[in-house]
Structure 1
Amino acid sequence: MTLSSPTTFRSEKARLRAEALLRRADMGAERRAAASDAAARHALMALGSVAGRTVALFAPFRDEIDTGPLARKLRDAGARLALPVVIGRDRPLIFRLWDENDLLEPAGAYGIPTPGAQAPQVTPDDLMVPLAVFDRAGARIGYGAGFYDRTLALLRREKPIRAFGLAFACQETDHVPAEPHDEPLDGMVTEAGVLFLGGSDADSLSR
């Protein structure tokens, strides 16, 4: 399929997003919980030694993959955790430190749990990135606001970072149409395993 205009790109991305989110919703709560636990184990393997590193997670929204199991594993492994904070519609995200006993505050139009302004702002070393759709080339489709594309572009200009998508295997598609501003992932983690991209690590994500 040839995508020749921004409008066509947006239309195709919207179609792929809607289809993947329907597949995700059809999983059901029990299957999502089991898959979240499995993905957490794979994510810890993908990240390797995290002692002393700052890892940015995300608070799950609706039927997104649950990051709670991974948060517990990362804390046990000595990582500092952070969560994203939206500071403006067309601006990059910032990240605030998330201690285990911190009270998270609903923020934004969707009331997503977020650390309060008293939590220190940090720059992550590793990010687990939410998404709606992904492919095996490392392309992703988010939810349409472009927050992570802007954020990853900024962070990658500042220092070396790693960004792994974290989602369910049913959110994979054959091909995501990429645009110039789209920031690729370094790897993809699902309950099926880990797909490493752009490096020497073997592809270990099963179909």
Structure 2
Amino acid sequence: MDNDDVPATFASPACFMHEVDPAYLGLPDRQTWTDINRWRKNERERLIAARLAVPAAVRASHGEAIAAGVLAEIGDVSGRILSAYWPFRGEPDLRPLLDEVVRRGGRTALPVVVEKGRPLEFHLWQPGEALSRGVWNIPIPAEARPCLPDIVLAPVVGYDAACYRLGYGGGFFDRTLAAMPTRPRVIGVGYSAARLATIYPQPHDIAMDIIVTEVGIVQPAVSTVRAFT
């Protein structure tokens, strides 16, 4: 899943692009990309190992706090579609949040990996409906009902004060957000211990609108954590 953590392709004439100094274009050179990708891979492995080492009961408690924070942020969900995710490798388990969204009159969805290198799709699904196995054996809706969510929850492996997200390296969320005709509100969710000084954001990285952790909300405009009240 690390192989797609590479710079985006730029639309310029191939016969001239290679002649331009990367510094002139504001792009990192090849060695810088290599160093950043190596650093991201190491941090990704470290952070995943750290969260898996946290006792399950503690992770469950953090997940409840994160779900409460998300609900407080999104407000009225009636008639809106929220896309969450199926928890994977110690991610916050927000499945109970989907029940609450449905109870409040909203609709819910899950992301679906179509294939490597392509944007995600979102398909309507709510707790109790059938699931099938998708890529990496992650459960996905058994019935294909594509939708455009109003709110997308994006699990983070790591994040920084500007709300840039370190993911698994597949580039799926960045690719998906860039391709969507209307950008939804994007909320990163993860544990406060996953905060980094920076993820060294690159031109293809897309910042989350906010990050919700078990201790509060990270807002990029002020680069601080607003504690829950």
TM score, norm. by length of structure 1: 0.89
Runs of 4+ in 1 over 6 A off after TM superposition: none
Percent identity over paired residues: 32
Does structure 2 retain, via aligned residues, the 8 Å contact 1:54–1:124? yes
Residue aligning to 2:173? 148
Q: 17-26 or 129-138: which moved more? A: 17-26
Paired with 1:172 and 1:197, the residues of 2 have a C-alpha distance of 13
Residue aligning to 1:6? 33
Write the deviation string for residues 110-158 of structure 1: whole angstroms up to 9, x where unpaired: 2101002x33110111100012110111111110111001001112xx1
CA-CA distance at 1:203 after TM superposition: 4.5
Does structure 2 retain, via aligned residues, the 8 Å contact 1:87–1:94? yes
CA RMSD in angstroms, aligned pairs only:
2.1
Paired residue for 1:197, among 220, 224, 228?
220
Q: 99-108 or 53-62: which moved more? A: 99-108
Tell whether 2:137 aligns with 1:111.
Answer: yes
Structure 2 segments unaligned to the other structure (5+ residues): 1-27
Does structure 1 retain, via aligned residues, the 8 Å contact 2:157–2:166? yes
Residue aligning to 1:178? 201
Q: 1:146 to 1:104 in 2, by over 3 A?
A: same
Paired with 1:33 and 1:138, the residues of 2 have a C-alpha distance of 23
CA-CA distance at 1:205 after TM superposition: 4.5
CA-CA distance at 1:198 after TM superposition: 4.3
Does structure 1 retain, via aligned residues, the 8 Å contact 2:119–2:175? yes
Does structure 2 retain, via aligned residues, the 8 Å contact 1:57–1:81? yes
> For this pair of structures, how many residues does the alignment match?
200
Residue aligning to 2:47? 20
Write the deviation string for residues 62-93 of structure 1: whole angstroms up to 9, x where unpaired: 31110112212222222110001111100000
Paired with 1:39 and 1:99, the residues of 2 have a C-alpha distance of 19
User: Could you tell me which amino acid in structure 1 is paired with residue 42 of structure 2?
Assistant: R
Tell whether 2:124 aligns with 1:124.
Answer: no
Paired with 2:190 and 2:103, the residues of 1 have a C-alpha distance of 22
